[in-house]
Chains A and B, each alone.
Chain A
Amino acid sequence: MKTSSFPLIHNRKAMVGALIVAFILAVAIAAPLLTSYDPGARVGRPHQSPSLEHWLGTTRIGQDVFARLIYGARTSLAVGFGAGLLITIVGTALGIIAGYRGGKIDEVISFFTNMVLVVPNLPLLLVLAAFIGQASPWVIALILGCTSWAWGARVTRAETLSVKQKDYVKSAEMMGEPRWRIMTFEIFPNLISIVGINFIGSVIFAIITQATLEFLGLGDPKVVSWGTMLYAAQKASALSVGAWWDILTPCFALAFLGIGLSLLNFAVDEIANPRLRTGNRLGRWSALIRSGEGRL
């Protein structure tokens, strides 16, 4: 069926993905070493095109775009990973509990999961963010965590249903292990690939959604992030006045990080399930991605 060339391609994808994410992470950490400009300060004339002095030009109010790009990476990564972690924890916990306990508990959790899935996510987030006012990145991460766990819960529940039929779970039950122990030590480790894919998918979703909310003007404009860069550039009509560097810089950064994380998703899956077929892997991965972008 599959020739040996395919896993090779996938591994290469995984390597490229890991390199991209590591590169962005390194740049974000080393931001103060890479530029001497303050990302919030006015350091040049408005809308200067890229030059040796300002590598990626300046914004409408004369801030250095390169400095904003690398400092903004910190916010975008922190919110992405923070919210991704929260989404994964909530989704995994609810999924395992619903799948393992079954009965009434399962019915209640599944009902809420399905309900959250049919209420469109972005409009809901917009309403929440609008009432919070100018939402700081951490508030955005928190509301993402509270509203976006449903897909993970659904996938984890389905997987738990098959794992709980396995012999080792049955024998742990026979030995009288407490339920929380069975859920955390017998079931959870066997779901690690689902959890990993859910995590990276959620990180992608969180980064995209944070940028979207901020682009739509619901973020705190004083915070430096890729989303607020988009917002400020769009508000300054950067494209129609020809200041493409102002708006395309955060665009390419977001696309670059999104592609890197998606490629990394392959790596997690391959480490966890070396025998997975291409079809299945792509299928579960794409379903998660879509649920992520999902509600975008």
Chain B
Amino acid sequence: MAFLLRRLCFYLAAFVAAATINFFLPRLMPGDPVQIMFSSAGAELPPESLQALKLTFGFVDGPLWQQYLTYLGSIFSGDLGRSIKYFPLPVTTVLGNALIWTVGLMGTATIVSFALGTFLGILAAWRRGSLFDVIVSVGAIFATSVPAVVTSLIVVFTFGFTLGWFPTGYSADPALDPAFTFEYLGSVLYHGILPMLTLCAVLTGGFAVTMRNNMINLLGEDYIVMARAKGLSDSRVMLWYAARNALLPTVSSLAIAIGTVLGGSLVTEVVFNYPGLGNILYQAILARDYPVIQGQLLIMTATMLIANFVVDVSYVLLDPRLKRA
């Protein structure tokens, strides 16, 4: 419990750090930052948005520390200000609608690639040095060294534009109304499958290599030799003795990989024109919609911290030593 509490405090500190960067960046701009942001976003804005923008960045009357506290206060009460591009919509509404799609895409891709990568890693380690191992290892090198944006573009070109098997944009057929019908859900699946597979292609290699190496380090342990000496079947030794223990460090690598998933999904969404956070962010960058750009950092940080915390909890459940500590 103490372990989880300590992690929780650390995550809170990390979140405040991200908010602090957000607070100071506009203040480091030369001149009047609000005016600059206002003018760089285009001239057709209503004048009341200027006031909203000032509030978003905590430009209230008073000394700096007071502005800072006001800013932190509004962040923690869930107020990220108002978007410039979609004025007067609040940033939380703009990002919240998109977050569902990103989390859905990201979650599925992480689960699929973690399961697949772990499985490939177990088999590769078990048959170390075989052709299968070489294929998995070399494939992992290629998959991890090609940028997500390149993978996405090549996939969308091949399967979307050239072969025409899958749609090249949107999360569902725009002609359908969102509802819990088979038609709509089928359309969501059909539109989501290509970006999901792209993310899996980016992620699986890393998981496979981590699992493979953990397994190889464990295969020399005495209890593996013991299990074999007892005459247990190969699959039982591989899965119940080696893989179970090798999984533990892999889970902690999952926490780090969440950053990859987040970044990868940003780029993949832009390429596939998928209405998640990445696409909203891309539109916001093009329109220089600063409140939205800053809001996504906070939301992404929060997502990453929550995911890390979930990994911490599962770590405690998997590793009995931590429960006692």
Contacts and interface: CB of A to CB of B under 8 A. Distances in A.
Interface in B260-288: 260, 262-264, 266-267, 270-271, 281-282, 285-286, 288
A122 B281 CA distance: 12
A294 B259 contact: yes
B154 A258 contact: no
B285 A293 contact: no
B153 interface: yes
A296 B217 CA distance: 29
Nearest to B296: A123
A120 B168 contact: no
B137 A282 contact: yes
B142 interface: yes
Interface string A155-169: 000000000000000
8 contacts: A120-B262, A121-B263, A123-B281, A126-B281, A211-B147, A217-B282, A248-B157, A290-B144
A282 B296 contact: no
Contacts of B156: 239
Contact of A247 (B153, B210, B264, B290): B153
Of the four ranges (under 10, 10 to 19, 20 to 34, 35 or more), the interface on chain B belongs to 35 or more
A118 B308 contact: yes
A262 B304 contact: no
Contacts of B21: 124, 127
Interface string A239-265: 110101001100110110011011100
Contacts, number: 193
Interface stretch (B10-18, B42-50, B188-196, B229-237): B10-18
B286 A217 contact: yes
Interface stretch (B22-30, B69-77, B108-116, B316-324): B22-30
Interface of A: 2-3, 5-6, 9, 13, 114-115, 117-124, 126-128, 130-131, 133, 204, 208, 211-212, 215-218, 230, 234, 239-240, 242, 244, 247-248, 251-252, 254-255, 258-259, 261-263, 278-280, 282-283, 286-287, 289-291, 293-296
B263 A120 contact: yes
B304 A293 contact: no
Nearest to A284: B213
A279 B206 CA distance: 14
Nearest to A122: B263
B297 A290 contact: no
A258 B28 CA distance: 35
B140 interface: yes
Contacts of B129: 2-3, 5-6
B185 interface: no
A126 B29 CA distance: 16
B263 A131 contact: no
Contacts of B86: none
A294 B202 CA distance: 11
A101 to B, nearest CB: 22
A216 B282 contact: yes
Given A211-B147, A217-B285, A293-B260, A115 B209 contact: no
B146 A259 contact: yes
A295 B260 contact: yes
Interface of B: 10-11, 13-14, 17-18, 21-22, 25-26, 28-29, 40, 128-129, 134, 137-138, 140-142, 144-150, 153-154, 156-157, 160-161, 168, 202, 206, 209-210, 212-214, 216-217, 253, 256-257, 259-260, 262-264, 266-267, 270-271, 281-282, 285-286, 288, 290, 293-294, 296-297, 300-301, 304-305, 308
B17 to A, nearest CB: 6
Contacts of B266: 122-123, 216
Given A255-B146, A259-B141, 6 more contacts: A3-B129, A230-B149, A251-B150, A255-B145, A282-B213, A290-B260
B153 A248 contact: yes
Majority secondary structure of chain B interface residues (helix, strand, loop or mixed) = helix
A54 B229 CA distance: 68
A234 to B, nearest CB: 8
A290 B256 contact: yes
B10 A114 contact: yes
A117 B256 contact: yes
Nearest to A240: B161
B154 to A, nearest CB: 6
A127 B153 contact: no
A287 B304 contact: no
A25 B293 CA distance: 36
A204 B153 CA distance: 19
Contact of B149 (A117, A120, A215): A215
A229 to B, nearest CB: 12
Contact of B14 (A115, A127, A290): A115
A214 to B, nearest CB: 10
Contacts of B25: 127-128, 131
A280 B213 contact: yes
A133 B270 CA distance: 20
B285 A296 contact: no
